[in-house]
Amino acid sequence: MTFNVLCLPFYALTPDQMYDMLRLRSEVFVVEQNCVFLDMDNKDKKCHHLLFYTSEGELVACARLVPPGLSYPETSIGRIVTGPTVRGTGAGKQLVEEAINQCYKLYGKGPIKIGAQLYAKGFYEMFGFVQTSEVYDEDGIDHILMVKA
């Protein structure tokens, strides 16, 4: 699939882009995964946001690119989400590949750490991420830390 890809710092997001991003994250993380948590955790303002739009203008995937020292000592990718309309199309792979490339471009070619949902471990291993922690509970969902060296 082909997407209109944007990578913007928080302050450059339009109100519509911010709404689209927060709505997609809420649709998947809160409603679909039935997880009550505070998505707006005061980190978004310090991050870049990767947005994948369809040619029709629908946001279908996004990720948060976190500078080193904000979530972890390393650069991080968080809030990785694909909407239900693009699952199984390769959009998730495109999103993670672009997120890694943008992190290297923005923050240098150092390690990238993620807090991954356990069920997605194999998916992230395809990109060179390696599990570095035991399983832990975050908001009722099993997670692991993973690092791409």
The answer to whether residue 139 scores a pLDDT higher than 90 is no
Q: Containing domain of residue 106, as a range?
A: 4-148
Contact 24, 62 (CB under 8 A): yes
What span, in angstroms and rounded, lies between the C-alpha atoms of 58 and 90?
17
User: Could you tell me which residues are beta bridge partners of residue 78?
Assistant: 64
Q: Which two three-digit tokens encode residue 145?
A: 């830390």
* pTM of the predicted model as reported, rounded to 2 decimal places: 0.94
Q: Per-residue pLDDT tens for 97-116?
A: 999 999 999 999 999 999 99
Which whole-number Å values give the CA distances from 120 to 16, 68, 96, in the listed order? 30, 23, 12
Backbone angles phi, psi at 24, to 5 degrees: -65, -45
* pLDDT of res. 88: 93
CATH number of domain containing 67: 3.40.630.30
What span, in angstroms and rounded, lies between the C-alpha atoms of 82 and 93?
10
What span, in angstroms and rounded, lies between the C-alpha atoms of 88 and 98?
17
Please give the average per-residue pLDDT across 136-142, as a whole number: 91
Place of tokens 């990238």: 112
* pLDDT of res. 106: 98
Number of domains in the chain: 1
Per-residue confidence at 55, pLDDT binned at 50, 70, 90?
very high
Q: Could you give the count of Cα atoms lying within 13 Å of 111 in the half-sphere of its Cβ?
A: 14
Q: Per-residue pLDDT tens for 123-132?
A: 999 999 999 9
